[in-house]
Amino acid sequence: MEKVEIGTSNFSTVKFSDNQGHGGACVAYYICRAVDKADTPAGEFGFVQFQNGPIKEAGVNGCHHEDLLAIVIHRLQAFQLGDFKCSENALAIEKLEEATHCLNQRTEARQKRGIEGTSEV
């Protein structure tokens, strides 16, 4: 495992498998509690397994980027309904929805070309 310097490194660390998946991207990420000032041992909060390879070739074996974006959007929208409503959350939602739109456009373009779910570029 290798530590990735992303996220809220004061509170958690993100680690990924050294093995690259299809297309050169990492497919497994571990989100762990960082060691705090009391030297509390790090514990795993979560594990994300991404799709490795095209579905038509590898079957469904992990989540997609859009899945994680949908989770974060949903969570921020809930905050916007309560005491934690703020312009920063609204802007983050807007940008995450824009990212989702871009990924969906990529999928639609691949579907139109008849190559969605394959390794063809």
- Using DSSP's 3-state secondary structure scheme, residue 109 falls into helix
What is the value of pTM for the model shown?
A: 0.83
Structure confidence at residue 76 (pLDDT): 98
What is the average per-residue pLDDT within 67-96? 97
pLDDT exceeds cutoff 80 at 13: no
Distance of CA 54 to the CA centre of its chain: 17
Confidence of residue 3 (pLDDT cuts 50, 70, 90): low
Q: In this predicted model, which residue has the larger pLDDT, 6 or 75?
A: 75
Q: Quick: pLDDT tens for 25-50.
A: 889 988 887 766 555 556 778 899 99
Alpha carbon dihedral 46, 54, 111, 70, in 10-degree steps, equals: 0
The counts of H helices and E strands in the chain are 3, 4
Give the 3-state secondary structure of residue 1.
coil
> Where residue 6 falls among pLDDT bands split at 50, 70, 90?
low
Report how far residue 50's alpha carbon sits from residue 22's, in angstroms, rounded to the nearest whole number. Answer: 11
- Residue given tokens 């390879």 in the structure block: 53
Return the minimum-mean-pLDDT range out of 3-12, 63-72, 95-104: 3-12
Q: Does residue 89 contact residue 79 with C-beta atoms inside 8 Å?
A: yes
Scan for tokens 């996220």, then name that residue: 7
Token duo for residue 78: 């809930």
User: What does the alpha-carbon distance between residue 69 and residue 57 come to, in Å, rounded to a whole number?
Assistant: 24
